Amino acid sequence: MNQKRDPVGVFDSGAGGISTLREMIRELPEERFIYFGDTANAPYGTKTTEEVIACVQGVVERLMKKNIKALVIACNTATGAAAATLRKELSIPVVGMEPALKPASQMRKNGSVLVLATPLTLQQEKFENLMRQYGQGAVKVPCPGLMELVEADDEAGARQYLRELFIRYPADRVDAVVLGCTHYVFLKEMIRELLPERIAITDGNTGTARQLRRVLAGAGLLNEEGPGTVELETSGGPGDIALMKRFLEKPES
């Protein structure tokens, strides 16, 4: 049996991790991916750590039955809550995410770095460790409700939310914005329109895709023959699958 042909399992609380999946497909076009959006339990970012861990365990149990060869947590909140535990419990490689604060800190001059993320992500020890290393000038910006606007595909609502958010942070004092939730990546073009061009916008998707390649190569699990495939699953309904498909096929911003 050729384990290289086994799929990579990817999950998020909803459709946000599709932004990460798209980057992984670009980086690893020969791989087979199974994406699970846990929309029935979304959002993760306003839950307790214990609640998120319980949700994650249910998703992982389901994905493991698909004989996945590696697991990608395409969610910053779930990574902070459960990645360390999963790496101890599972026999397959586990790749997580973190807000792209390091590259943003390298673009900082004298202004601040705004880290947009869910409330729980910003409270987690994993993020605090990141702040200790790269957090000079960084400002935590919790965004409760923004993920839900992305899930609802509510562009008008998201634009109004972001306008009101950025009013609190004068643009002439900001050097970079970190998109610390995979859902927010689908708002990147909108955020770009609302902010001066000189302000950098970073996210963790490219780094996660490259890390997956390194991990698979190191474990001798890279599938270099193809064909690559994508399977979408959800704990929600058909409408959630339709949204995932739209996001997967959405033109790059």
DSSP 183: G
Q: What predicted TM-score, i.e. pTM, was given to this entire model?
A: 0.95
Residue 89 has pLDDT above 80, yes or no: yes
Residue 104 has pLDDT above 90, yes or no: yes
Catalytic residue among 28, 71, 75, 178: 75
Those residues whose C-beta lies under 8 Å from the C-beta of residue 25, and which sit 6 or more positions away, are 31, 33, 228, 230
Average pLDDT value for the chain: 96
Nearest to 123 by CA among 168, 77, 169, 84: 77
150: left (phi over 0), alpha (psi -120 to 50) or beta: alpha
The predicted pLDDT at position 226 comes to 81
Q: What is the CATH number of domain 101-203?
A: 3.40.50.1860
Q: Does residue 143 carry a catalytic annotation?
A: no
Q: Confidence band (pLDDT; 50, 70, 90) for 81? A: very high
**pLDDT 10s digits, 188-218:** 999 999 999 999 999 999 999 999 999 999 9
* Domain locations in the chain as residue ranges: 3-97+205-249, 101-203
Identical fold at 3-97+205-249 and 101-203? Answer: yes
Class of domain 3-97+205-249: alpha beta
Catalytic residue among 181, 187, 215, 232: 181
Q: Confidence band (pLDDT; 50, 70, 90) for 64? A: very high
pLDDT average, residue stretch 36-61: 96
pLDDT average, residue stretch 221-226: 91
pLDDT average, residue stretch 31-57: 97
